[in-house]
Chain A
Amino acid sequence: MSEFLQHLINMLVLGGTYALLGIGLTLIFGIMNVVNFTHGVLYTFGAYIMFIVVHQLGINFFLALPLAVVAGWLLGAVIELTLLRPLRGSDIDTTMLVMIGAWIAMQSGTLWIWGGVAKSVTTPFPEAPLVLGPVSVSWLRLFVLAAAALLIVVTYFLINRTKLGCAMRATFQDQDTASLMGVNVDLIYTSTFAIGSSLAAAAGALLGPVYVIFPQMGDLAAVKAFAIVILGGLGNITGAVIGGFILALAEELGAGYVSSGYRDAMGFLIIIAVLIFKPTGLFARSERVG
């Protein structure tokens, strides 16, 4: 029983960051209909920013986090402006392939600059865990959960309570009408991509110190993000949050009770299963497939 509780605790922590990843991608995929293969690179980018800021610039760990989010936002905006805006109107395949090209180039660039040896980020938290009866959880992971929760709440607020968020939702529902109503679609697109990217960077910045940081770390994260988006339904933020926790739960239970080697397979299996049996996702309110 205590093992199960331990898995549950692990799931909560992991789920929070997965939710961030998923929200970021569901916004981009949902509003812009772009299969964003650079999402994983942004995740890696966020982690490396943490490393640079904490270890090479010597800045406080807690300040590094917002810096990583901002850096992710900037990089996302740059990608959108240079690669996606010129391709607006092209078919989805071309955009997808351009994203793949960007992913390859950026990941190789990371490898070239930082080398293949994994980096660790020292955190200000004590090593000894917080023990609650039969389960333990490290302070770092609690912080990660709290920070993720905070960012999710902020995103909710942004999407549902601000004018920008309203414009984004309008563009998601009907781009042409939104533009007729005076929404600057170009600006919305850039903002969406930037915000989505900053969330991916945040996820990387939070999880990087928990594990280790290396150039290919984003690959798995990217696919998991897609799993969450598909699970939760395109453009559905609540769905993405729940999807993130479901994925984390599937991974923890799968790894704990079935086989640890298949932990990372859970995401893929979920994608395949959902797309075969319920292609619109578990929570999608509107039909949007293909």
Chain B
Amino acid sequence: MIRTFRLVPTIALAVALLGGAANAQTIKIGVNEPLTGAFAASGTYVVNGAKIAADEINAKGGILGKKLELVIEDNKSNPTEAAAVAEKLITSDKVPVLMGAWGSSLTLAVMPKLMEYETPMVVETSSSGKITTTGNPYIFRISPPSAIEAAAFKGIVDKLELKKVDFLVINNDWGRGTAEDFSKMMKEKGITVGAVETMDQGAQDMSAQLSKLKGTDSETIIVTTAVDQLTLIFKQAAALGLKKRIITTGGSQNPDQIIAQAGAAANGTMHLTTFLPWFPDKTPNPEATNYFITEWKKRGFDFAGCTESFRGYDGIRTAAAAIEKAGKAEPAAIKAALWDIKIKGLNGDIVFRKSGPEGKESGQSQPNVYLIEITDGKIGMKTL
């Protein structure tokens, strides 16, 4: 009896010590996304997609035998805050790898922190070319830079018989970068580029810009911004009686949401997306797509968000695969492992190729780009 009494606390103490000795009970991935501000809707979709990935991984036993924990922080759609959030995640939460930061300007703001603390980040949405060409070896991007979007769009330009286009873009790295890359491509094809109007990310009233564009002689407007502003643009364009063809880029459009809120104003518009939740069989990985969409609907989320949330899903799975490959939750090892992974993403294979100046290349994957068109409130594909 007495011996048992002495044994139990000893065993308990030993277990406690051993448990404490194990570094952490979970493996953390930092998530740096806009949950408030102009991009709140998009950031929330991405985070919810990320959670689906984390839950799926944990259901299958976690990573390296431990539970995966997402440390989610809000960067408020603001570059300074994005950098501060990255600092918090790395120095306070000690995450060995991050995913983020949604917007191009936000990601660019985070990049110096990645260099300073030598921690890798999976970039899931940003499209500015600068991200992978300025020589930051801690960046691994799975979303297409706008140059790839423009190149994919090149094929259909003739079919659409574009002659003169205007641009209406959000006033940051994303919008301006898109205008630049697409203009370059258009000019090569002999299409005239007309006006380039910008709008502040927080602007609610674009009627001034739209009135101006209504008066130009181009027949197409290319619009680049996040979904909240897009809905406003469509509504206001309809209210002004703007009859030009509208094409949106960037993959953050949520066409279903636009149909729901802009109604008839959405008909005839076209959108460059990076995912086809409406046609799972046309995606590179139909089984995984179906699983994701079913999970998404099960959680009661808005189906419209699938066009963006899949990025959170793929981003986390990428980071998790790298941690698994590295064998430890340690930044340098994860960074090295990211170059070696190849996984089936919802938008194609995720495998990183070198991009940028020699010696400091970033990783860039080659995702697919699709063009869809809204007709009579329904979404249809246009072959590129």
A interface vs B, CB < 8 Å? 2-3, 6-7, 10, 111, 115-118, 120, 122, 127-129, 131, 136-138, 140-141, 211-212, 214-215, 217, 252, 255-256, 260-261, 263
Q: Which listed residue (B204, B205, B209, B241) contacts A129, Cβ 8 A? A: B241
CB distance from B264 to the nearest CB of A (A): 5
In the bound assembly, the distance between CA atoms of A242 and B207 in angstroms comes to 22
User: If the complex has contacts A127-B263, A136-B239, are A260 and B41 also in contact, measured as CB distance less than 8 A?
Assistant: no
CB distance from A61 to the nearest CB of B (A): 15
> Would you list 26 pairs from A and B whose C-beta atoms are within 8 A, ordered by A residue?
A2-B215, A3-B215, A6-B207, A7-B208, A111-B36, A115-B35, A115-B40, A115-B44, A116-B37, A116-B74, A117-B41, A118-B41, A120-B261, A127-B238, A127-B263, A128-B264, A129-B238, A212-B232, A217-B204, A256-B208, A256-B211, A256-B212, A260-B198, A260-B203, A260-B208, A263-B203
Q: Which listed residue (A6, A122, A212) contacts B204, Cβ 8 A? A: A212
CB distance from B177 to the nearest CB of A (A): 18
Pair A6/B211 contact, Cβ less than 8 Å: yes
Q: Which listed residue (A116, A118, A141) contacts B239, Cβ 8 A? A: A141
Closest 7 A/B residue pairs (Cβ) = A116-B36, A255-B208, A138-B239, A136-B241, A116-B40, A211-B204, A127-B263
In the bound assembly, the distance between CA atoms of A120 and B232 in angstroms comes to 10
Inter-chain contacts of A136 with B (CB < 8 A): 239-241
Q: Which listed residue (B35, B238, B261) contacts A128, Cβ 8 A? A: B238
Q: Is B337 an interface residue (CB 8 A)?
A: no
Q: Is B199 an interface residue (CB 8 A)?
A: yes
Pair A10/B204 contact, Cβ less than 8 Å: no
In the bound assembly, the distance between CA atoms of A118 and B35 in angstroms comes to 11
Inter-chain contacts of B212 with A (CB < 8 A): 3, 256
Pair B228/A212 contact, Cβ less than 8 Å: yes
Within 8 A of A (CB), among B141-170: none
Within 8 A of A (CB), among B254-300: 261-265
Give 10 new A-B contacts, CB below 8 A, not counting A6-B240, A212-B231, A260-B208. Answer: A10-B207, A115-B35, A115-B36, A116-B40, A116-B44, A116-B74, A137-B239, A212-B204, A255-B208, A261-B198
Q: Is B180 an interface residue (CB 8 A)?
A: no
Inter-chain contacts of B171 with A (CB < 8 A): 261
User: If the complex has contacts A115-B40, A116-B37, A116-B40, are A129 and B208 also in contact, measured as CB distance less than 8 A?
Assistant: no
Inter-chain contacts of B55 with A (CB < 8 A): none
- Main DSSP-derived SS at the B contact region: helix
In the bound assembly, the distance between CA atoms of A2 and B264 in angstroms comes to 24
Q: Which listed residue (B208, B263, B265) contacts A252, Cβ 8 A? A: B208
Q: Is B118 an interface residue (CB 8 A)?
A: no
In the bound assembly, the distance between CA atoms of A140 and B239 in angstroms comes to 9
Inter-chain contacts of A127 with B (CB < 8 A): 235, 238, 262-265
CB distance from B321 to the nearest CB of A (A): 30
Q: Which listed residue (A118, A256, A261) contacts B200, Cβ 8 A? A: A261
Query: Nearest residue in A to B206 (C-beta to C-beta)?
Result: A260
Inter-chain contacts of B44 with A (CB < 8 A): 115-117
Pair A260/B209 contact, Cβ less than 8 Å: yes
In the bound assembly, the distance between CA atoms of A6 and B242 in angstroms comes to 12
Inter-chain contacts of B261 with A (CB < 8 A): 120, 122
CB distance from B52 to the nearest CB of A (A): 18
Inter-chain contacts of A212 with B (CB < 8 A): 204, 228, 231-232
CB distance from B366 to the nearest CB of A (A): 31
CB distance from B11 to the nearest CB of A (A): 46
CB distance from A30 to the nearest CB of B (A): 29
Q: Is B197 an interface residue (CB 8 A)?
A: yes
Within 8 A of A (CB), among B175-226: 197-200, 203-209, 211-212, 214-215
